[in-house]
A and B are shown apart, each in its own frame.
Chain A
Amino acid sequence: MPDPESRAAPGAVISVSRLSKTYATGHSALKDVSFDIRRGEIFALLGPNGAGKTTLISIVCGLVNATAGTVRVDGHDIVRDYRAARAAIGLVPQELTTDSFETVWATVSFSRGLFGKKANPAFIEKVLKSLSLWDKKDAKIMTLSGGMKRRVLIAKALAHEPHVLFLDEPSAGVDVELRRDMWRLVRELRESGVTIILTTHYLEEAEEMADRIGVITKGELILVEEKATLMRRLGRKELTVELVAPLAAIPPALAPFGLELSDGGTHLTYVYETCASGAEEEGDTHSIADLLALLSAEGIAFRDLHTEQSSLEDIFVSLVRRDQ
Chain B
Amino acid sequence: MNLEAVRAIYMFEMARTMRTLLQSVVSPVISTSLYFVVFGSAIGSRMAEIEGVPYGAFIVPGLMMLTLLTQSISNAAFAIYFPRFTGTIFELLSAPVSPFEIVLGYVGAAATKSVVLGLIILATASLFVPLEIKHPFWMLGFLVLTAFTFALFGFIIGIWADGFERLQVIPLLVITPLTFLGGTFYSLDMLPPAWRTVTLFNPVVYLVSGFRWSFFGISDVAVGLSLAMTLGFLALCLGACTWMFRTGYRLKS
Contacts and interface: CB of A to CB of B under 8 A. Distances in A.
29 contacts: A23-B253, A61-B90, A61-B94, A63-B90, A63-B94, A63-B252, A64-B252, A82-B96, A83-B2, A83-B98, A87-B96, A89-B94, A91-B90, A93-B90, A97-B88, A98-B88, A99-B86, A100-B86, A111-B91, A112-B8, A113-B4, A113-B5, A113-B11, A114-B8, A115-B5, A115-B96, A116-B2, A116-B96, A117-B4
A62 B94 contact: yes
Interface of B: 2, 4-5, 7-9, 11-12, 15-16, 19, 86-88, 90-98, 248, 252-253
Contact of B248 (A65, A84, A98): A65
- A-B pairs, top 7 by smallest CB distance, nearest first, are A113-B8, A97-B87, A83-B96, A61-B94, A86-B96, A114-B95, A116-B2
Contacts of B86: 97-100
A156 B4 contact: no
A114 B97 contact: yes
Contacts of A99: 86, 88
A45 B195 CA distance: 67
B91 A114 contact: yes
A84 B4 CA distance: 15
B2 A95 contact: no
Interface in A104-118: 106, 109-118
B253 to A, nearest CB: 5
Contacts of B88: 97-99
Q: Is the interface of B mostly helix, strand, loop or mixed?
A: helix
A101 interface: yes
Nearest to B86: A97
A100 B188 CA distance: 48
Given A24-B253, A63-B94, A63-B252, A114 B15 contact: no
Contact of A106 (B4, B15, B92, B95): B15
A63 B4 contact: no
Given A65-B253, A97-B90, 7 more contacts: A65-B252, A84-B96, A110-B8, A113-B8, A114-B97, A116-B2, A116-B4
Contacts of B248: 65
Instruction: Report which residue of B9, B91, B248, B253 has the largest number of chain A beta carbons within 10 angstroms of its beta carbon.
Output: B91
Given A64-B253, A97-B86, A100-B86, A91 B8 contact: no
B16 to A, nearest CB: 8
A98 B87 CA distance: 8
B8 A101 contact: no
B7 A113 contact: yes
Interface string A58-91: 0001111100000000000000001111110101
